[in-house]
């Protein structure tokens, strides 16, 4: 979980990217930050704002294993002192220090000052402890493959700025590496496995329902998003796995021709002997076609039922994060779509965790996931 840590010389406050106050939820994090502050400097920190990532961990010390993001959701929303799930803090940027703004300084300067102001502890680390500084595209691609193999989602590509170790190659016209809050820029790019051909996983899913679109899509009577499901071949039912809305206008038009004319619609919500989901779309489809979709990763879900009972002691299902439509699969029937068991296997491979006894053959040990930071130019 990404958040900002604000220190005014007395108290530390933690805020989410939407400015929700997370302080009471992570009281142990405030303690970790105070312990990590350098106290042997002549100009001890009187105030700061830093970017951090809070990660759930299992075990003690630097060799603790990183847990999936969903484990943080078990934290109490009020006054959690860390007695529940353990966490570790990774910091990667500095915006404000001792009354001085650093947002207009290059990243290389911000990182130097960050390391001067904090020290690594058992519970606090610098993300950039693993990094690659390079202009070589092939090296960056290899590093991306290494990061994905290690369990990370991908890389962050950042401009270092004029004082980087590659300073002799910086030319006019190259974007700066200033901190630009709340905006996208070419100085800070996220490269995830699903963005790159050859790295993204895809599965075959079945559309089982939809909602009416909003805004421009409402004006054209498009159905968006669409509820997608996988097939449970043991129980002969379809289990929902995500909503998807990454379709072209041509796809939406084609869907309108089929679906709103009731070629593919059901008059009522199907029973649990047919479809299992906690979603409640106003429109339900007969399972008649198969889509191929790519996705960023898999997460536990109480809303979706794919692989429910196979991956989580609480009975949660698995959902796709950031699904993207790739193509129709007219060569497949709905019963030939990806199965619930196959989703459980993908989740086990991604999470590197041991799952239920029904899938002992696909259980794997979680290894420490990589926190990758790649800097270019």
Share of the chain above pLDDT 70, in %: 75
Per-residue b or e along 88-122, where b marks 16 or more CB atoms closer than 10 Å to that residue's CB: bbbbbbbbbbeeeebeebbbbbbbebbeebbeeee
Same-domain pairing of 260 and 275: yes
pLDDT at 262: 55
Q: Does the pLDDT value for residue 190 go beyond 70?
A: yes
pLDDT tier for residue 343 given thresholds of 50, 70 and 90: very high
CATH code, 291: 2.40.50.140
pLDDT, average across residues 221-246: 94
How far apart (Å, rounded) are the C-alpha atoms in residues 252 and 265?
A: 15
Whether residue 42 is contained in a domain is answered as yes
More confidently predicted of 141 and 88: 88
Full-model pTM: 0.64
pLDDT at 4: 94
Same-domain pairing of 16 and 117: yes
Whether residue 245 is contained in a domain is answered as yes
CB of 143 within 8 A of CB of 151?
A: no
More confidently predicted of 262 and 97: 97
- 107-133: pLDDT as tens digits: 888 889 999 999 999 899 887 546 677
More confidently predicted of 143 and 47: 47
Count of CB atoms situated within 10 Å of the CB of 340: 28
Residue 160 belongs to what domain range? Answer: 131-197
How far apart (Å, rounded) are the C-alpha atoms in residues 131 and 330?
A: 44
pLDDT at 15: 94
Tally of domains in the chain: 3
Q: Does the pLDDT value for residue 102 go beyond 80?
A: yes
Same-domain pairing of 257 and 148: no
Whether residue 376 is contained in a domain is answered as no
Same-domain pairing of 17 and 68: yes
pLDDT, average across residues 130-154: 75
Mean model confidence pLDDT for the chain: 79
Q: Does the pLDDT value for residue 370 go beyond 50?
A: no
Same-domain pairing of 171 and 282: no
How far apart (Å, rounded) are the C-alpha atoms in residues 333 and 290?
A: 7
Same-domain pairing of 68 and 165: no
């Amino acid at each position: 979980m990404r958040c900002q840590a604000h220190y005014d010389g007395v108290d530390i406050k933690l805020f989410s990217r939407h400015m929700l106050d997370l302080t009471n939820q992570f009281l142990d994090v405030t303690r970790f930050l105070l312990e990590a502050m350098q106290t042997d400097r002549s100009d001890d920190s009187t105030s700061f704002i830093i970017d951090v990532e809070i990660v759930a961990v299992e075990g003690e010390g630097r060799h603790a294993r990183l847990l999936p993001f969903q484990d943080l959701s078990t934290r109490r929303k009020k006054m959690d002192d860390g007695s529940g799930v353990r966490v570790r803090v990774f910091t990667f940027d500095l915006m404000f220090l001792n009354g001085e703004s650093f947002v207009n300084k290059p990243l290389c300067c911000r990182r130097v000052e960050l390391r001067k102001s904090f020290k690594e502890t058992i519970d606090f680390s610098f993300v950039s402890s693993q990094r690659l500084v390079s202009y070589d595209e092939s090296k960056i691609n290899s590093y991306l493959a290494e990061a994905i193999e290690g369990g990370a989602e991908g890389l962050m590509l950042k401009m270092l700025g004029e004082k980087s170790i590659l300073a002799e190659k910086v030319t006019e016209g190259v974007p700066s590496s200033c901190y630009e809050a709340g905006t996208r820029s070419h100085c800070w790019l996220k490269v995830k496995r699903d963005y790159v051909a050859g790295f993204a996983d895809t599965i075959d899913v079945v559309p089982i329902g939809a909602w009416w679109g909003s805004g421009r899509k409402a004006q054209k009577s498009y159905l968006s998003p669409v509820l997608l499901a996988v097939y449970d071949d043991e129980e002969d039912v379809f289990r929902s796995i995500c909503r998807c809305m990454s379709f072209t206008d041509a796809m939406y038009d084609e869907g309108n021709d089929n679906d709103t004319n009731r070629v593919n619609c059901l008059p009522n919500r199907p029973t649990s002997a047919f479809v299992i989901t906690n979603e409640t779309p106003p429109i339900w489809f007969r399972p008649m076609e198969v889509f191929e979709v790519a996705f960023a990763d898999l997460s536990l879900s109480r809303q979706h039922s794919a692989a429910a009972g196979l991956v989580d002691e609480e009975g949660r299902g698995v959902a796709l994060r950031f699904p993207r439509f790739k193509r129709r699969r007219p060569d497949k029937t709905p019963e030939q779509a990806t199965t619930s068991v196959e989703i459980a296997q993908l989740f086990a491979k991604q999470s590197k965790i041991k799952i239920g006894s029904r899938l002992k053959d696909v259980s794997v040990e979680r290894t420490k996931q990589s926190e990758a930071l790649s800097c270019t130019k």
